[in-house]
Amino acid sequence: MCRCLGSDESVIHAIWSCPAIDCVWEEAARWGFRDSVIFQSCSELVAWILEHGKHPELFSMIAWSIWTQRNQIRTVQQHCTTDQLAQIAKARLEEYQAIRSVATNIAPLQSPSQRQTCNGQVVASLSEQLNQAYQPIEVKAMAAIRRISLRLSLALWLTAVEKTEGARLRGLEILFTASAQTTVV
């Protein structure tokens, strides 16, 4: 059950559409589309944010903060109040950006990510050099952002492949049908 007590909880509801987190997303200039565009899944939401340039880094940090606070509440851990989440997320993002811009002389650390088929074949791999100045929590947040981007890229690529293959199959069906009709006559 969700914190709003009015809905079964899904990820999209928990981080985006739950009325209990309205105060987090209330900045209309950035998130005004929240009331006008309906998303069925997080992947739809992330795709829309990336497509429309709606501050994906800030979105990721806020969503991560909401989810972290949700888990802290559920496990009865110390947590910030909901109305503090947006400010805390903005501060974390600014800190991350500041560290990223000045941490250039530190030995890099690899952060790999792979996508595999059910047979274990690698279909995509992502590796990025990160500076060791980051805290583990920051590395996790950055890795989550990169994984979302990779998944979105793969989904768009697979959609394009499916459309292309579908068009080829329809073309082959037309050719086969026309060939069969010609042979029968």
pLDDT tens figures, 97-146: 887 776 554 444 444 555 555 555 555 666 666 666 667 777 777 777 77
Instruction: Identify residue 17 by its one-letter amino acid code.
Output: S
129 forms beta bridges with 110
Strand pairing report for 122-131 and 108-116: antiparallel
What does the pLDDT look like over 26-54, one tens digit per residue?
875 788 888 889 999 988 999 999 999 88
Q: What is the pTM of this model?
A: 0.56
Other CB atoms within 10 Å distance of the CB of residue 21 = 25
